[in-house]
Structure 1
Amino acid sequence: MHRIGLDIGSTTIKTVVLDETGHVCHTQYERHFSRIAEKAREVLLALGKKFPGKHRLCISGSAGIGLSEQLGIPFAQEVFATRTAVTTLRPDADVVIELGGEDAKILFLTGGTDFCMNGSCAGGTGAFIDQMATLLQISQDEMNALAMNHEKLYPVASRCGVFAKSDIQPLLNQGATKEDISASIFQAVVSQTIAGLAHGRPIAGNVVYLGGPLTFFSMLRDTFDRNLHLEGTCPPLSLYYVAYGAALLAADEAFDLEKLADRIPDLAGWQSYDPLRPLFRDRRERIAFEDRYGQDLPEPLACTDERVSFFIGIDAGSTTTKCAALTEDGTIAFYRYLPSGGQPVSHVRDFLLELYDRYPGCRILGSAATGYGEDIIRSAFGVDLGVVETVAHYTAAKAYDPDVDFIIDIGGQDMKCFK
């Protein structure tokens, strides 16, 4: 009879199977993409085929308690499971730092056992790193490799992903390298963990690193080492300590895994939520909304006059770059709206090349820039002047509607309302 531990975390399911001697004979690590019941059924079915018969089973993890209750399987709180595993596998450990998909924990094991864990916010966890990699338009492996070649660090908020994006997007628009930003993200995670969870207690002695982010990102471990002035250890099975501890804590009751798996489809509605009213009740209501608020954008000016003259406006925003060419009478002749991707200069260059390609003999009478990337655009292209965003908004709104008395703008990283 085997002992099996399932760690159903916020983003992954980890499995450890121990044989009768306590030897680890099987491990599995998979993302569940929030399809917890479906993925748990797949895991149990596969285990049942590989290990026929009945086995002792225990579930742990932040997303596992509901499934445990519904199936009548023993549940082990993840901190207790981690401590059980560490006591068995690393009895010399003084401190454990564990980062998961949406949680972070520090366990102090000497001088009195103590632990601290983050609350409902996932700032400074694996999900936070996921978000930042998406913002940089790189994979997580690329982020780790880029951070190895950084030259400087920038202050980046880690308490909240939105605040972090508000720090990082301007850095991208101002030309900061992805190497430096990647390293700064890892530094933000370390600062958040130490300041938010240690509560002033020194982290010293034998420090063990656990969990996905600390297993997969060598630069994150290096950043912890540098900040703590020590050399921590990322041990074998670092991904599986909670599942290993759960397996050790499995009670005497044995379960048929395939029969358990067959019960899971009946639990499709075991989690109940009160949904909000949908934005549109049907397709007709959506079409009516689009007709009411939709507005066709102007077509590019059909002009064969080689001497046509333009005024150029550039809004290098936090997440998008907008460019427009206006004729002398204020007609929008040509425009582009593009995701910045941290490269506003290349987007403006492409816009200008396309403009000259479309109107080979045109003359530029004047140009102005606004937005987060105003300075770099002015420097790169010799733009005549910079304009404050609110002034640019008002100038355009008044040209569109002379009686305008209120403007609201929701941008990529900011919101503005002014009367």
Structure 2
Amino acid sequence: MTASERRFLLGLDVGSTSVKVVAVDPKTSELRWRDYQRHESRPAERLLDMLSAFDRTFGVEPGEARAFITGVGGAALAPLVGARYVQEVAAIALAVEKRHPDARTVIELGGQDAKIVFFEAEDDGRTRKLVSMNDKCAGGTGAVIDKISNKLKVPLDSLGTLAYRGLKIYPIAGKCGVFAETDINGLQKRGVAPEELMASLYDAIVLQNLAVLSRGNTLRPSVLLLGGPHAFILGLREAWQAHIPRLWEERGVPLPEGATPDSLIVTPRDAEFYCALGCVEFARQEEGCDYLGADRLAASLAAGHGSATSRRGAPAIAVSGQDLAEFRREYERPAWTPPPLPAGQTAPGFVGLDAGSTSTKAVYLDEGGRVLAKAYQLSRGNPIEDAIEMFRSLRQQVEAHGARPEVLGVVTTGYAKDILRDVFSADAALVETVAHAESALHLYRDPHVIVDVGGQDIKIIVMRNGRVKDFRLNTQCSAGNGYFLQAIAQNFGYPVETFAETAFEAREMPVFGYGCVLFLQSEIANVQRQGWRPEEIL
């Protein structure tokens, strides 16, 4: 049966956060049916609901449609519905060439990826496609918008109407979703309105994608904005329309006579369905791919194929064969006990102050390098006030012994080291690498490697013969840093100090992928639905 002899051509797009289905009449090319739904980490089940509705609406029998499928979940589900898998970029390109042959740039934002496709005409009349894609990090994708809008309690029906133009824009880190959330937290505490925060987020997303995805290429007109975020969110579209013309002006890109920049940066109708529509174009050209129907998918899911509800994990530490008590004796840090101080006398010492991105730490050392007092607290958003609290805590600890502190010197480090040095007239402000190295050399005879997991960064310092030989720093991504670990523990109702103790109680654990924190949060939500307990997830 040829494509034109079938009743429908089906295009299916199973993405990271949503499922899209379109049905086209092969004879008239009329779009007869379309549906878009969030799948809440259950893509197969959501696709079943949508295909069941399609089958009921039109009375479709197996073999009466030809189906192609794309998206991150498409390859696994293709054989279950009788579809052929198509790579996303190929589907988008085919849909654009069919519907907008004059387009020269496509910007597509998905739930967990972002891509720019450049269409360049060649001498032989063909079009060369250059693709730049980010699918490893949530920075610049719809996942960040979801995360921040939920945090600000912006309803979905209001999110789409929030504007960008005419609002004050604040600087927000666009390189990482968690860093963006941290900036949003600070601005929210200052009383910045949610609509300005969302506009600032759109600005950061656009700038991030222009910086990372353009890679020296110029976004030439006309530009199409595709994907769910562009289809549904006015402010995001306006942010692109504000920034791209500036780029054109800087690079001297000629515009068609009489055309306005806004008319050259457009979001077409059905922008959220373009991957699925591209699948339909493949269905016109390719043979095979007989649609099997929703009932076949339901039977496959009932047999446990393709479902997101099946629980699979790995043994945890509790069943690894290693004695837990022995493990703790070997690796657990002993409790610190403050040394006795002579009552009624002064206790001279030096203050070390570390003002980090999420916490502030301070120590009071005597002239021999012994720790007399120490303090730690999560940052409250003002490093000066945090530092005052640290000084107060150190003084109270010394005075609790009946002694009087006598500060001989102060050295600062961390993100706020310079401002604290100036405010408190400290003796020096050390970069963190030097501070780590000095501390390690003081406490250990021959340190080789220092690993520092901070609130918003991770450092590895390699030392040889008392000198720093190599240094690696991750400040671009929050994966694996302290802020994330703290947030996950708090979400489950545990203080971060009990993270390891709680995790050691698990006998089995889910296996997560490496990479972006926001993607990992989606995985965590999924395994919770499968019945995994907090200690197993931690």
Which TM-score applies when normalising by structure 1?
A: 0.71
TM-superposed CA distance for 1:240, in Å, is 1.4
In terms of mean alpha carbon deviation, does 35-44 or 352-361 score higher?
352-361
Match of 1:237 among 270, 291, 297: 270
**How do 1:210-359 residues align onto structure 2 when only pairs under 5 Å count?**
210-215=226-231, 216=233, 217-218=236-237, 219-229=239-249, 230-231=261-262, 232-247=265-280, 249-250=282-283, 253-266=290-303, 268=305, 280=317, 282=319, 285=322, 287=324, 288-298=326-336, 311-317=350-356, 320-326=359-365, 330-336=370-376, 338=378, 344-345=383-384, 347-352=386-391
Aligned sequence identity (%) = 24
The CA distance in 2 between the partners of 1:81 and 1:324, in whole Å, is 59
| Structure 2 match to 1:13 | 19
| Structure 1 match to 2:450 | 408
Q: 1:213 to 1:299 in 2, by over 3 A?
A: farther
| Structure 1 match to 2:36 | 28
**How do 1:144-163 residues align onto structure 2 when only pairs under 5 Å count?**
149-150=168-169
The CA distance in 2 between the partners of 1:388 and 1:301, in whole Å, is 29
TM-superposed CA distance for 1:61, in Å, is 2.4
Which runs of 5 or more residues in structure 2 are unaligned? Answer: 1-6, 187-191, 250-260, 465-538
Which runs of 5 or more residues in structure 1 are unaligned? Answer: none
TM-superposed CA distance for 1:76, in Å, is 3.7
The CA distance in 2 between the partners of 1:221 and 1:258, in whole Å, is 45
| Structure 2 match to 1:117 | 131
Q: Per chain length, whose mean CA-contact separation is higher, i.e. which structure has more relative contact order (CA < 8 Å, sep 6+)? A: 1
The CA distance in 1 between the partners of 2:139 and 2:364, in whole Å, is 44
The CA distance in 2 between the partners of 1:52 and 1:188, in whole Å, is 46
RMSD: 4.9
Asked if 2 retains the 8 angstrom alpha-carbon contact of 1:37 and 1:268, the reply is no
TM-superposed CA distance for 1:295, in Å, is 0.7
Asked if 2 retains the 8 angstrom alpha-carbon contact of 1:209 and 1:235, the reply is yes
The CA distance in 2 between the partners of 1:331 and 1:260, in whole Å, is 65
The CA distance in 2 between the partners of 1:125 and 1:328, in whole Å, is 47
Q: Deviations over 1:180-237 (max 9, x none)?
A: 89745532311322226x4xxx543322111245444232453234323543011232
Q: 1:410 to 1:354 in 2, by over 3 A?
A: closer
Asked if 1 retains the 8 angstrom alpha-carbon contact of 2:300 and 2:306, the reply is no
| Structure 2 match to 1:208 | 224
Q: How many residues align?
A: 394
Q: 1:48 to 1:296 in 2, by over 3 A?
A: farther
* Structure 2 residue identity aligned to 1:118: S
TM-superposed CA distance for 1:374, in Å, is 1.5
Asked if 1 retains the 8 angstrom alpha-carbon contact of 2:353 and 2:361, the reply is yes
Asked if 1 retains the 8 angstrom alpha-carbon contact of 2:361 and 2:376, the reply is yes
The CA distance in 2 between the partners of 1:47 and 1:286, in whole Å, is 56
Match of 2:439 among 386, 396, 408: 396
* Structure 1 residue identity aligned to 2:376: R
TM-superposed CA distance for 1:68, in Å, is 1.2
The CA distance in 1 between the partners of 2:163 and 2:397, in whole Å, is 42
Aligned partner of residue 301 in structure 2, secondary structure = helix
Match of 1:102 among 113, 126, 136: 113
The CA distance in 2 between the partners of 1:146 and 1:409, in whole Å, is 44
Aligned partner of residue 292 in structure 2, secondary structure = strand
| Structure 1 match to 2:416 | 373
* Structure 2 residue identity aligned to 1:335: A
